Amino acid sequence: MCAPVTGEAFCERVRAVGTENFEVCGVRKVWRELRRREEPVARCTIAQLMGTMGLTGAVPGRTVVRMT
């Protein structure tokens, strides 16, 4: 059973998983990686957090243009 997850600390863990994998991981891969690290959380929660933080996974065949 997954506990409700909120807070900046968990957002940083989600962001860390993304940066460790060169920011190409989508919701499913981030969710699976957190489960491997024994941090059970619902996949829909990861989707909401990633959407709030503006993180997206890579889409095959598309070039990413970053405006910095």
Tens-place pLDDT, residues 38-47: 888 889 988 8
Is the distance from CB of 31 to CB of 13 less than 8 angstroms? no
Backbone angles phi, psi at 61, to 5 degrees: 85, 0
What's residue 36's pLDDT? 92
Cα torsion 22, 28, 34, 36: sign? negative
Q: How far apart are CA 30 and CA 17, in angstroms?
A: 6
Q: Would you place residue 1 in the very low, low, confident or very high pLDDT band (cuts 50, 70, 90)? A: very low
pLDDT above 70 for 17:
yes
pTM of the predicted protein model:
0.71
Residue 33's nearest CA partner among 48, 21, 45 is 21
